[in-house]
Amino acid sequence: MELLKVLSIVIPSLTTIFAIFYLRRSKLKILRYKEDITRANEARRATTELSTGNIDQLGDALQQYTTVVQETKDELRALIQLFDLTSKQKRNAELELLRRELKTTYASLRIHFDNAGFKDCAHFIKSDLLDIIIKLQKNGLDDPDRYQQTIDAVTIRQHELRTGINRILLRMQGSLAQSYS
């Protein structure tokens, strides 16, 4: 009989203890689940920002490089046309500025072209323009038609670079848009 009294007191107490333990465990699971969702959302947001950053960086690199290449081509055309009218000292100073700007820009943006798979195209553009600059500094205007042909080849490569990277940018933007869906 005494055993029944003890059990009648102990059983409700144990039930209460297990109920409290179960509720705390359930709350802990819910908190962990919410933390996992928060972490996943933060990771998705960080990935999206990184992808957006990559798209922006590649687009900016293309724009900056294209601008420098176009300015270099235009300056070279002008120097070739006005070759006899400018002093050698002024001409060499302008060519040196073009050379430095082209090399510096290419060096700072090269990683973007390497990562996009267009390192050869960007490199050939730079190399062809530097070749013209160096030949003009050393040899003068020995063959203007050859210089113009090289500039035309640079224009073709510049178009390949621009269209190729624009295709990559469109694909990246499409992938990013799908990740939002």
Residue 60 carries which side chain, given as an amino acid letter? Answer: D
Q: For domain 55-180, say whether CATH 2.40.50 is its number.
A: no
Tokens of 88: 């050698």
Q: What confidence tier does 146 reach under pLDDT thresholds 50, 70, 90?
A: very high
Q: Mean pLDDT score of the chain, rounded to an integer?
A: 84
Could you identify the residue written with the tokens 């120097």?
A: 79
Reading the block at residue 35, the tokens are: 């933390």
The residue ranges of every structural domain in the chain are: 55-180
**What percent of the chain is modeled with pLDDT above 70?**
86
- What local confidence, expressed as pLDDT, does residue 46 receive? 47
Q: What is the pLDDT confidence band of residue 154, given thresholds at 50, 70 and 90?
A: very high
Lowest mean pLDDT among 25-39, 131-145, 157-171: 25-39
Q: Terminus-to-terminus CA distance in the chain, angstroms? A: 68
Asked if 75 and 94 touch (Cβ cutoff 8 Å), the reply is yes
Is 181 a residue whose pLDDT tops 60?
no
The pTM score is 0.70
Q: Each residue of 82-112: pLDDT tens digit?
A: 888 888 899 999 999 999 999 999 999 999 8
| pLDDT value of residue 177 | 67
Residue 40 has pLDDT above 80, yes or no: no
Taking phi over 0 as left and psi of -120 to 50 as alpha, with beta for the rest, 96 belongs to alpha
CA atoms within a 13 Å half-sphere pointing along the CA-CB vector of 122: 29
